Structure formats: C-alpha cells, structure tokens
Chains A and B, each alone.
Chain A
Amino acid sequence: MVNLTLHATASSPQVQADEKTGILVLSGESYPENSFDFYRPILSWVADFLERDRRSLTVEVRLTYLNTSSIKCMMDLLDAMEDAHQAGREVKLNWYYDQENDRALDLAEEFKEDLTLPFTIVPVPSEG
C-alpha cells in the first residue's frame, strides 16, 4: 500500500491519498482529457485501502468544476464508499463549496442525494 500523489494541471485536480491517515484529498478543477484514465488509479487506491485495511477512510472533495465524465467517475467513487459504508466500514466524505455560490451548493446536494454514508457539505468563504 502506497501513497498516491498527483500534481494539479490546467485540466486536472491535485490528488493526495495518504495511506497512514486514510485521507484522500481532491482539489482543483477536473476536466482531464481522459477522465477514466485519470480516475482509475484513484479508484484503485480507494479499493485497495478498503480491502486491506479496517481503518476509516476520509475523502475531501474541493473541486470547483467537473466535466461530465469526471462526474461519472466521482459517482463511481461515491458508490465504492457507499458500498463500504453499507458493509459496516467507517467512511466519510467532506464536500467543500464556495459559500457565495448557490449553484455549487445545489450540485453538492445532488451528489449527496440517495447516499447514506456520512456526507458533510462544508461552506468555504470566498477568496478575495
């Protein structure tokens, strides 16, 4: 089990998955050329972590934009977390959004809809 670090690019978010703390952070904007290729290692990391470990998993999402295929990948990630939660694992998700942006709050709530895992929507003060 290793840590996973991907640096942000113009079209993909920064990713930091820490094996010790069980925290996965996604931040930035997500419209990579091939979202499925981009998210595959992230989904694998989560699957490995959930399989090998009994410790809790925390996912922090600080994404301001997701293209359609990234939305699909995000829902796959949420599904994996939901399954783990249903199986009795401790998983939680914190979704950060710009508090000035009502649309961003609506979108966070759309992602949360139908899930039973602990899903916290956290307002972040606007920069500047």
Chain B
Amino acid sequence: MAITGRKAPRGDEAQAADVKARLQALREDPAFRDHPLLKELERMAEAHLRLLGRMAKITRISDGFQAQMKALNESLQRVSRTDALTEIANRRAMMEEVGAERLRSIRGGTPMAVVMADVDLFKGINDTFGHEAGDRVLHGLGQALKGALRAYDVCGRWGGEEFLVLLPGTDREGAEEVAEKLRKAVADLRIPAGDKEISVRMSLGIAVLDGHEPLDALLRRADEAMYEAKRMGGDRVEG
C-alpha cells in the first residue's frame, strides 16, 4: 500500500467479499458445480472484482491530486496576501482586513482604530548603510510591530517604509496606548549592520473610525496624523 491509512471505501470491500462468497457457494453447490455457465460466471465475477479494485485506485489517486491542488491553492493564497520583504500582510490583505473590520464595527457598534506608521529619515538609512541594510531594517520593523501587538491586531506593509496597523474593538484611549507601545518597540530595536547597529524611529498617526465614514477617509485621517507627527519632529504619536 503506497499511501498508508488509505483503503478502498468499505462499501467496495463488502461488495467484493459478497461476489467472492456467492461464487464460492455456486462452486460448492452440487447443482451448479458442473454447470457449463459456471466458467463464464467466474470470468464475469473476476471482471467485476477487477473493476472494483480499479475504481478504488482511481479514486485514491484522484483524491491525492485534489489534495495537492488544494495545498497549492492555499499556498498561493498565502503568498498573494504576504509582503515578500517583511513577511507580514501586504497592502491588498490590509485593505481587505480593514474593510471587513469597518463593516463589523458599524454593524456591532464597536469601536475600531487604525495606525499609520512611517519610518523617520529612512532615506538616510539607505544612503548610509545601503539598500540591503535598509531591507533588513524593514523586515525587522515588520516583525517588531507584529511582536508588540495583541493577538487580534493586524499589521501590514502599506508602501515603501510605511506600515498600517488595524486595531479591532479599540477606542481612542486603547489606540493611543498601543501606538505608544509600538513607538517604543521600534525605538528599542537594533538592526546589526557590519560592526555597527542601526536604530530607527517612527512617526505614528491614529484614526478612530467615525460613524459610517468611508474607508479612504479613515485612512486619509491616519495618514494626516502621521504627517503631523513628522512635522512635530518624529518619534511620536499623533491623532
């Protein structure tokens, strides 16, 4: 048996046993033992048994290919929602997540908040340490943000050095608390670069969903708050 644990469906086994038992009974029955049609019947029974086995095999192999397709499909789904560089959600996945959460929030009357977070002076990091180091900073940031969040929060890479965080069921006070925690987690982060260490700061902008406001309006407010944090010198939370 090539694939352990998988057998022909029970119904087929029972049917095969039945065919064999009936054929055996005929062979032993004095009235049929020497009947001229017995040979023909044996051939037909053999063909029937062969067909049952064949069907079970085809079904097994077909199930195997189907399982393979399903696994492939799932891995493609995952890839299409993941940012290759940071290994967290990509913009498309975040759009879906935030859109779905907005509807849940409106329907359930629960609050929700988003935080837009952008690296301060990222160009300087690239210029000083090179793009490869810059990429490692982005990866480290993605993991640091994810690590500082609660289990039900979602964060993703929104663009270049910009990250979006979704905080379901969270009001202004809660969002400020989480955003401050994120700011600190980022400020504490050290990315090794040769014999040096890179440290980064982020500007974060909070927007709490206001009634039925459209998705793009919510995201625009978070973006504006983030730019306000930059204007105030960076490494801070606004909104």
Contact = CB atoms under 8 A, between A and B. Distances in A.
A110 interface: yes
Contacts of A111: 61
B71 A103 contact: yes
Interface in A48-66: 65-66
A67 to B, nearest CB: 8
A107 B61 contact: yes
A71 B230 CA distance: 62
Nearest to A65: B65
Report, as a range, how many residues of chain B touch the other chain.
10 to 19
Query: Which applies to chain B's interface (DSSP): helix, strand, loop or mixed?
Result: helix
Interface in B64-86: 64-65, 67-69, 71
Contacts of B67: 103
A104 interface: yes
Contact of A110 (B54, B57, B71): B57
Contacts of A66: 61, 65
Interface string B124-159: 000000000000000000000000000000000000
A71 B58 contact: yes
Contacts of A75: 54, 57-58
Interface string B1-35: 11100000000000000000000000000000000
Contacts, number: 43
B69 A110 contact: no
Interface in A84-128: 101, 103-104, 106-107, 109-113
Report, as a range, how many residues of chain A touch the other chain.
10 to 19
Query: Which applies to chain A's interface (DSSP): helix, strand, loop or mixed?
Result: helix
A44 interface: no
A106 B60 CA distance: 11
Nearest to B68: A103
Contacts of B71: 103
Contacts of A3: none
B68 A110 contact: no
Interface in B38-74: 54, 57-58, 60-62, 64-65, 67-69, 71
Contact of B57 (A67, A103, A113): A113
A75 B61 CA distance: 11
A61 to B, nearest CB: 13
A72 B68 CA distance: 18
A113 B1 CA distance: 7
Determine which residue in A68, A75, A111 has the highest number of CB atoms from chain B within 10 A of its CB, and name it.
A68
Contacts of A103: 64, 67-68, 71
A72 B2 contact: no
Contacts of B3: 106, 109-110
Contacts of A107: 61, 64-65, 68
Interface of A: 65-68, 71-72, 75, 101, 103-104, 106-107, 109-113
Interface of B: 1-3, 54, 57-58, 60-62, 64-65, 67-69, 71
Given A67-B62, A103-B68, 15 more contacts: A65-B69, A71-B58, A71-B62, A75-B54, A75-B57, A101-B68, A103-B64, A103-B67, A103-B71, A106-B3, A107-B65, A109-B3, A110-B57, A111-B61, A113-B2
